[in-house]
Every structure is written in C-alpha cells, then in structure tokens.
Amino acid sequence: MSGGKPGPGYTSGGPAARVAPLLRWFGRRRRDLPWRRRRDLYGIWVSEVMLQQTRVQTVVPYYRRFLERFPTLKALAAAPLQEVLKAWEGLGYYSRARNLLHAARIVVDRHGGRVPAGGAEFRSLPGVGEYIAAAVLSIGAGAVLPVVDGNVLRVVCRWQGFAGDVRLPATRRRVRAFLEGIIPAAAPGRFNEALMELGALVCLPRSPRCPVCPLRSGCFARDRGRTGSLPVKGKKRPVPEHEVALAVIVRRGRIYIQQRPEDGHLGGLWEFPGGKCRPGERPGDAVVRECREELGAEVEALRELAVVRHAYSHFKVRLHVFACRRRRGRIRPRRPHAWVPAADLGAYPFPAANHRFLPRVAGYAEERQGFRARFARGY
C-alpha cells in the first residue's frame, strides 16, 4: 500500500451489499440506551451534545437527570443558566451546556419551540457543528448525512485501509466522502448509529474483536494484519501543567466565592479567588498577589488546605488551596460574588476539581466558626 490508498478489492461491491451485514448486526447487538427510546429531535440533540468527548457510561445518568429536570425544549429555554450548569456539573466541557441553552432559547423565539429539521437552520444554532447536525438530523429526521466521529474514523480507516492521519481534516474529508457513497437513504440514522456502535463495542482502539465484526469479510486491516497500525494518529503536543493558587476566605462563618465570566473557560461556574502562579513564584505568594489584584485587599496565607491535580483537554493544573485571612483593605469584588455558608456550597455549580477539596473548605469554615464561638464565650 502506498499514498494511504486501500489495496485492491476494498471498495468493491454495491453499497447495499456492504451495509446490510452492519445493519443486521446492529439490530441484534445494539445497546439499550435511554436516548434510543426517544425519537424526538430534542431528546436526540441533548444526548449527542452530552456524548461529545464523553463516554456513554458517564452520560447515561446525566442524560436521565437532565431530561427529568428539563423534559422539553421549552422547559430548558425557560431555565436560568445557573440551574442548567448545576444539572451539567461534573460532565465537563461546560460550553456545551451554555450553547445548548442559548440554542434552545433561539428555537423558542424563532421557531415556536420546534427544533428545525432543515440542515441550514439547525446548523446556524450555537454549538451545532457538522457532527451534531449529521447525528441529530439523520437519527431524528432521516437526513442523509454521514456522521464522522472518532469511532467512525477508526472503523472506516481499518475497513478501507485509509492511512492518512485522522487528526488532519483531509482524512476526515476522505472518510466522509466514502460514507456519502454508501449511506442508505432509507436508514441513514440507523447506519450512523451502527457505525458508531461498532467502533464502541467491536472495532476497539486496542484488541479489536475482529472474529465477531460484521465487516470482517474484506476488511483491509484484518486481512493485512494492520489493526494495530490503523488508524494513523499524529503525535499530540506536550500538555502544559499550570500551578494555580486559590484562597479560602471566611467571614462570620461564610465563605467568599465568585462567578467566572460566562464567555470563558468554565464560564458561568463558581470558584474561589486566585489564579496562575508566575514563573518561579511560590503558591503562597501567588495567592496573596492574586487576591490583591482581584479583590483589592491584602490577605495572609495561613496554611495550605489541599493540593489537587486535574487534567483538562489541552492542559493540566495543580491547585494549591490556602486558608487565608484578610489583613487590611476592603474586599471589592469585580465579578458577581457571594458569601456562602459551608452547608450551601452544594447549591452552586463548581468545576469538577473543586469538589475534591470542598469538604476541607467546609471543615475549615466550621473550625473558624467554632473558634469564634469559643472566643466569644471567653475561652
């Protein structure tokens, strides 16, 4: 094989002959997932948004809770952002939730609450890209649009012997063009679901289950012993790690928190004041500097409550959480903020990493409150 082209015979046979075994397999082996019990565009849309970059087993409980809380698109559109973010809390990639809410409100305002089944109208909504449009409209409205996600790329590159780097747009275009030639007009959604299911259950990244694959006859990678080398993936760039210092400030038993800007990373969620350490800066010094810059007050870092590591898609952080005391100057917040009793922290949506140290924050607040009570009684 040269130039990334498949060997002879791997594109032969009519579309129906190639698709039929896959659809029969899907009919027998498909998982019973909650979004497959719904055929409405809203329910399918929510599932596909949640499934982006998130595993099925993680999504299932979130999907059920989300649709219990927001059973219709109009119910979602009427909800405040904080309530939507709280329902999404822990699922990550929060821009998905913000875009979904924004899109729901547009659908209510411009389309009477009915999800548009036209490709151009649906694609114009916030957060709806090529993948979401193809998945939702093929499954829910019968649009003849192939889906290209990670599972589909792996299946097709192995099946047809495509050796281009799957991280590159050219390879995705080649896979999409191939699928456009075989996707059945009578069952485009079922075809897309079947390919994605095959990648999830059989054509696995490691140790694919070739003997039970419905596409094993004529599969390039299986015939040539190339399942370990296909698909081709270019090297990822090194992931940077940032040191971040956070301040826990308690006043009369209440903890200071502030809201992140809605248009940024983790937008709309709540956090503790602080930020990245500068090169060579100690976390304890960084938290004092950050509070001065963010709050206009001088604080003293009393002790480190926790150190938490967390990985995002393109970077990692190591959070240093400090119990802090205000020394001088009034706290003058520049963002929406709140002084919250420890028992009420759970009502606010926080980034997932914060939940790993919230119990220590609550314990510190209770300790401070106990000290104040003892001091008031004179011992």
> 202 and 158 in contact (C-beta within 8 Å)?
no
Residue at token pair 């982006």: 52
Residue at token pair 């299986």: 222
How far out from the chain centre does Cα 366 lie?
Answer: 34
Query: What's the confidence (pLDDT) of residue 7?
Result: 43
Query: What's the confidence (pLDDT) of residue 376?
Result: 42
The domain ranges of the chain are 15-224, 241-377
Residue at token pair 């990639």: 93
Residue 276, classed as helix, strand or coil, is: strand
Query: What's the confidence (pLDDT) of residue 370?
Result: 61
* 244/317 Cα distance (integer angstroms): 7
Q: Indicate the pTM of the whole model.
A: 0.86
String of b and e for 241-255 (b: at least 16 CB within 10 Å)? eebbbbbbbbeebbb
Q: Which residues are catalytic?
A: 48
Ordered mean pLDDT values, 10 residues apiece, the chain (379 residues): 43 67 96 93 97 94 97 97 96 95 97 92 96 97 96 97 95 97 96 97 96 95 96 89 97 94 91 97 97 95 96 93 94 94 95 94 86 45
For helices 150-160 and 169-180, angle between their N-to-C axes, nearest 10 degrees? 70
Instruction: Enumerate residues 6+ apart whose C-beta is below 8 A from 112.
Output: none
Q: How many helices (H) and strands (E) does the chain have?
A: 14, 7
- For the structural domain made of 15-224, what CATH number should be given? 1.10.340.30
Instruction: Enumerate residues 6+ apart whose C-beta is below 8 A from 293.
Output: 275
Query: What's the confidence (pLDDT) of residue 378?
Result: 42
Residue 85 has φ and ψ, to the nearest 5°, of: -65, -35
Query: What's the confidence (pLDDT) of residue 379?
Result: 41
Superfamily of domain 241-377: Nucleoside Triphosphate Pyrophosphohydrolase (3.90.79.10)
Instruction: Enumerate residues 6+ apart whose C-beta is below 8 A from 367.
Output: none
Query: What's the confidence (pLDDT) of residue 235?
Result: 86
* 357/235 Cα distance (integer angstroms): 34
> 239 and 314 in contact (C-beta within 8 Å)?
yes
Query: What's the confidence (pLDDT) of residue 167?
Result: 93
For 130, the token pair is: 């090529």
